[in-house]
Structure formats: C-alpha cells, structure tokens
C-alpha cells in the first residue's frame, strides 16, 4: 500500500502485576523441578494478578505509561485495539471496558483474538487504519490474565504462563519519516487448532457443571508439536518480512519474538544466523504472557536502553490457532 501516511511508534508502556509464581512454587504443585523448567524453557518465574484484578486493570497501567511516553492524553486517541484471549468477560469487549476506564468515550474499540500473535495482528490492523488516513492515534494493547485459565495440576502447561500487559501508541506520520512500520505479514493454519485449546465457554461447550468437572475450562496443549510449529511459522513470517523489504538479517538491530520458550527463540535466531545477543528475551522473568509478551519485551528493552530510536526491529509471534505474524519497523 502506498499512501501519504505512515505509522510510527509514538510511545510504549508495560505492566506486570507484582505477585510471583516461582519454579519453587510450581515444584510444590506438580511433579517437576527448577532445573527441568529452566533447561527446557528458560523460565524462572512468572507474574500473577491477584484475584479481583482484571485484565483491563493491567492494560490500564500499561496504557498510562505508553501515553506518558508518547506525551499524549487518552482524549487524543482515535481507536483502541485490544489483543487478548483472557479478557474481563466474553462481552462487552475488553477494549470497550478499557475505553471507559481511561475516562474517554465515543471512539471505536474492539478486541482481537489471535492468542499469542494477537499483538502483532493488532499492530498490523492499526497500521492499515493509519495508512488509509482514517485515524491518527491508535492505542494497541496486548494484555492477559492467563493464570486464571491454567490448571496447576497439569505440569505441561502450568510451568509456562504468566500475567501482564503491554501497550503501544501508534501515530500518523509523514511518508518520508524514516522511523516507521515498513510491513507486517500474518498467517493462520486452522487445521492445527487442536494443538492449543480452551474447550469450554463458547457455543461448542457452554459453561455447565459437567464442563467444569471435566476440566474443560483449562488450557490444553500439545507442547512438542507447538514447539516445532512455532519455530517453522515464526521463521517463515520473518523470512517474508526480510524478503518483502529487501533487507538482510544483518541489517536488523533487534529481534523481539513472542516470549514462549528460550529454546524456541534460539531456534528462530539460528535459522537467520542472528546473534543471540540481539534477541530480546525476558522469558526468564515473565514466562509466556500470550498477547502481552511482544509489547512488554519491546518496552522493557526501550526503557533499559537496548532499543534506541532509529534502530531496525523485527517483531514476530506465533500463537494458538495456529496464528503467526511479523512486523518490521524502524523505531
Ligand atoms: N517437568 C518435568 N518433566 C516434564 C514436564 C515438567 N513440567 N513436562 C513434561 N515433562 C516430561 C514429559 O512427560 C516427557 O517425559 P518422557 O520423555 O518420559 O515421556 C519429557 O519431560 C519430555 O517432554 P516433552 O514434551 O518432549 O518436552 P519438551 O522438551 O518439548 O518441553 C515444553 C516441553 C516446555 C512444553 C515445550 O514443548 C514447549 O515449550 N512447547 C511450546 C509451548 C508453547 O509455547 N505454548 C504456548 C501455546 S501458544 C498460545 O497461543 C498461548
């Protein structure tokens, strides 16, 4: 698409709730140990929101930081896009709840359900709205309270997930601004949907006592298959980004991948002969926060001085669906 407008990242913010679940805590719940978890995933602890705190509360905190970073107030926003699979409730959308919490009204607001790829999907959607000239300033949030849907008797899943929120303010800029989003590439393979599911709560298995008794309100995962497909799909969408923009991996300053498992991140980096010290990884201190991992990792690296204005950054994610996405930008 070639228009007079392009999209820049005006500000970022993130928020992780203070409660922690350490590997030692998990050792007390299931048959596992710290060494196994660290070797297989890299994760040392994850954050957990207290009961009573809801997903839009985390998103609100991240948004306030992103607005401050952009030097903006909420009433300058034109649209809210909220990526989540663990929103406050099925309806109304978390985006609408967040709009109200921000003390603003009337601007459009909607949720995106693409699991861990949700934030990259949402950035791509925001970019299209800005390039088309429809909106100037868009809040894109990825937030999850995923620990509420995790069975702490299932060692396959409970070692992985944590809660958190990240937010970007993306804004219209002129076409000749060098610091813009260049492209995004999205994918989905519905045939692999059964690799990661939350069976109950929809029209297929409504919430009933039998569903609760069968544990169908917990996430279920085929970890080994997800692992292989995560490496394959993220490598594919990153290759698309490089090819489309005619850049080599040597020209990328930072890779910000979905923070699922350190070994997955390393495998994707190896695929592109990308040095590991240019891969932003905070998986050890956060675990997998689904749609929140990419914006939280990005914001963390901006605030600790690793990602600087003018640098080339490649975002990539995969998630249930199976979904995948990449986004190449100059920050
Ligand atoms: N502690 C100790 N042993 C364990 C544990 C555990 N927590 N979990 C599994 N094991 C055992 C298995 O039973 C198996 O034993 P066996 O060899 O006797 O059969 C052995 O460890 C190896 O199991 P694998 O499943 O092959 O282990 P793997 O190296 O694949 O690691 C893991 C498992 C960490 C889950 C990995 O596959 C992974 O990270 N996959 C990706 C998961 C992911 O990213 N999910 C996100 C979903 S996407 C979304 O949108 C939310």
- CATH number of the domain bearing residue 230: 3.40.47.10
If asked whether residues 212 and 296 sit together in one domain, one would say: yes
As a whole number of angstroms, the distance between CA 98 and CA 111 comes to 11
pLDDT band at 3 (very low <50, low <70, confident <90, very high): low
Q: Which of 153, 174, 195 is the last residue of a domain?
A: 174
What pLDDT, on a 0 to 100 scale, did the predictor assign at position 4? Answer: 86
The Å distance, Cα 161 to ligand 1 centre, comes to 13
Average pLDDT value for residue range 252-265: 95
What pLDDT, on a 0 to 100 scale, did the predictor assign at position 76? Answer: 98
Q: What's the structural domain count of the chain?
A: 2
**Alpha carbon separation from 277 to 114, 239, 298 (Å, rounded):** 28, 20, 15
If asked whether residues 274 and 308 sit together in one domain, one would say: yes
Cα radius of gyration (the chain): 19
Pick the residue whose CA is nearest to atom 4 on ligand 1.
32
pLDDT band at 214 (very low <50, low <70, confident <90, very high): very high
- 114 within ligand 1 shell (Cβ under 6 A): no
Structure confidence by residue, pLDDT tens digits, 278-309: 999 999 999 999 999 999 999 999 999 999 99
If asked whether residues 268 and 141 sit together in one domain, one would say: no
Average pLDDT value for residue range 44-61: 98
Tokens coding 159: 């070692």
- Whether the full predicted model's pTM is greater than 0.85, yes or no, is yes
What is the residue range of 77's domain? 5-174
Tokens coding 81: 């896009």
- 159 within ligand 1 shell (Cβ under 6 A): yes
As a whole number of angstroms, the distance between CA 108 and CA 95 comes to 9
Closest alpha carbon to 125 in 82, 84, 85: 82
As a whole number of angstroms, the distance between CA 106 and CA 153 comes to 44
Pick the residue whose CA is nearest to atom 2 on ligand 1.
32
Structure confidence by residue, pLDDT tens digits, 153-165: 999 999 999 999 9
The pick from 29, 152, 223 for probing ligand 1's pocket by mutation, whose C-beta has the most ligand atoms within 8 angstroms, reads: 223
Average pLDDT of the chain to the nearest whole number: 96
In the set 23, 45, 47, 116, the catalytic residue is 116
If asked whether residues 148 and 190 sit together in one domain, one would say: no
The Å distance, Cα 156 to ligand 1 centre, comes to 5
- 158 within ligand 1 shell (Cβ under 6 A): no
Q: Which of 113, 142, 174 is the last residue of a domain?
A: 174
Q: Residue 94 phi/psi, 5° resolution?
A: -65, -30
| Residue 23 annotated in active site | no
User: Helices 94-101 and 55-70: crossing angle, nearest 10°?
Assistant: 60
| Residue 258 annotated in active site | yes
Average pLDDT value for residue range 224-230: 95
As a whole number of angstroms, the distance between CA 245 and CA 43 comes to 34
- 155 within ligand 1 shell (Cβ under 6 A): yes
Q: Which of 142, 174, 206 is the last residue of a domain?
A: 174
User: Helices 223-245 and 262-271: crossing angle, nearest 10°?
Assistant: 40
CB 238 within 8 A of CB 272: yes
């Amino acid at each position: 698409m070639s228009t007079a407008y392009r999209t820049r990242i005006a500000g970022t913010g993130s928020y992780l709730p203070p409660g922690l679940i350490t590997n030692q805590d998990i050792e007390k719940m299931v048959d596992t140990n710290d060494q196994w978890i660290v070797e297989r995933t890299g994760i040392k602890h994850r954050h957990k929101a207290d009961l009573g705190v809801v997903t839009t509360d985390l998103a609100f905190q991240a948004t306030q930081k992103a607005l401050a970073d952009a030097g903006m107030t909420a009433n300058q926003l034109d649209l809210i896009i909220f990526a989540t699979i663990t929103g406050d409730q099925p309806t109304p959308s978390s985006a609408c709840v967040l709009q109200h919490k921000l003390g603003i009204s009337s601007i459009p607001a909607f949720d995106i359900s693409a699991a861990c790829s949700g934030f990259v999907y949402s950035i791509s959607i925001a970019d299209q709205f800005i390039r088309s000239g429809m909106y100037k300033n868009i809040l894109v949030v990825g937030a999850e309270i995923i620990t509420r849907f995790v069975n702490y008797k299932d060692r396959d899943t409970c070692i992985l997930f944590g809660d958190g929120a990240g937010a970007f303010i993306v804004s219209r800029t002129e076409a000749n601004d060098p610091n813009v989003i260049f492209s995004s590439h999205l994918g989905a393979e519905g045939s692999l949907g059964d690799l990661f599911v939350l069976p109950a709560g929809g029209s297929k298995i409504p919430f009933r006592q039998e569903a609760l008794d069968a544990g169908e309100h917990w996430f279920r995962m085929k970890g080994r298959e997800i692992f292989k497909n995560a490496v394959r799909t993220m490598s594919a969408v990153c290759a698309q980004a490089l090819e489309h923009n005619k850049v080599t991996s040597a020209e990328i300053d930072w890779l910000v991948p979905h923070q699922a498992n350190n070994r997955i991140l390393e495998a994707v980096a190896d695929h592109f002969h990308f040095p590991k010290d240019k891969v932003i990884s905070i998986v050890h201190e956060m675990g997998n926060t689904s749609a929140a991992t990419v914006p939280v990792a990005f914001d963390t690296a901006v605030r600790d001085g690793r990602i600087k204005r003018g640098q080339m950054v490649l975002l990539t994610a995969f998630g249930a669906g199976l979904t995948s996405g990449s986004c190449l930008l100059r920050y």
